[in-house]
DNA sequence: GTATTTTTACCGCCTAAACAGTATAAAATG
DNA sequence: CATTTTATACTGTTTAGGCGGTAAAAATAC
């Protein structure tokens, strides 16, 4: 369970959008190394860089907790 | 719309858990400055540090996109 | 098959995140 | 009220993420 892979999710969306890593990086305003690291599931990246990449790919982030309403 | 505030969400959950910033930081294995920054919505924090804090508070992250299944 | 594109990987440099310590302001407690 | 705890803010140091450049490996196109 919970073998969710953020890197793969982003890579799939990037492919479907017809973008290379470099193109995605430029659109998101981050370096190509960052996109590469994200797709390799490196979690020490900065949160704002991840958000920038997700925004380009139209992926939204939601935070779920038992207390949420 | 979308005035969602991650810092406030985390702060509320921390309060309900009866934790101080320092206690939460220690439990998450991060510095107290990081917890403070997260609650102040500083987005340049590292993703793994945010995940560590969310885990302690039992908050899950979901990524939503039009392509998801 | 070869040529081209893309991905993966590594390299130094620079910047800023992360940290502990400290100090003050604010909040909570008695 | 005073006292204690917590949150906020600042500082100096250390560490590593981010970056472009480069190069080799892999995938794709011709």
Q: What is the pLDDT of residues A4-43, one digit of tens each?
A: 789 999 999 999 999 999 999 999 999 999 999 999 999 9
% chain B with pLDDT above 90: 86
Residue B32 CA, chain-centre distance (Å), reads 13
Q: Kindly report the CA angle at B43 between B16 and B10, in degrees rounded to 5?
A: 5
Mutation choice for A interface testing from B6, B30, B55, B67 by most A CBs within 10 A: B67
| Residue B68 CB contacts under 8 Å (≥ 6 apart), including other chains | none
Contact A46, B45 (CB under 8 A): yes
SS3 A42: coil
Q: In this predicted structure, what is the pLDDT of residue B67?
A: 75
Q: In this predicted structure, what is the pLDDT of residue B1?
A: 56
Q: What is the CATH number of domain A6-57?
A: 1.10.260.40
Mutation choice for A interface testing from B47, B55, B61 by most A CBs within 10 A: B47
**Eight-class DSSP state of B25:** H
> Average pLDDT for residues B43-66, to the nearest whole number?
95
Residue B69 has pLDDT above 60, yes or no: no
> Would you place residue B56 in the very low, low, confident or very high pLDDT band (cuts 50, 70, 90)?
very high
State chain B's mean pLDDT as an integer. 92
């Amino acid at each position: 369970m919970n073998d969710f892979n953020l890197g793969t999710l982003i890579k799939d969306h990037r492919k479907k959008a017809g973008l290379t890593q470099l193109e995605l990086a430029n659109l998101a305003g981050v370096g190509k190394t960052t996109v590469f690291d994200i797709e390799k599931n490196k979690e020490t990246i900065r949160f704002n860089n991840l958000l920038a990449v997700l925004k380009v790919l139209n992926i939204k982030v939601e935070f779920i907790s038992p207390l949420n309403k």
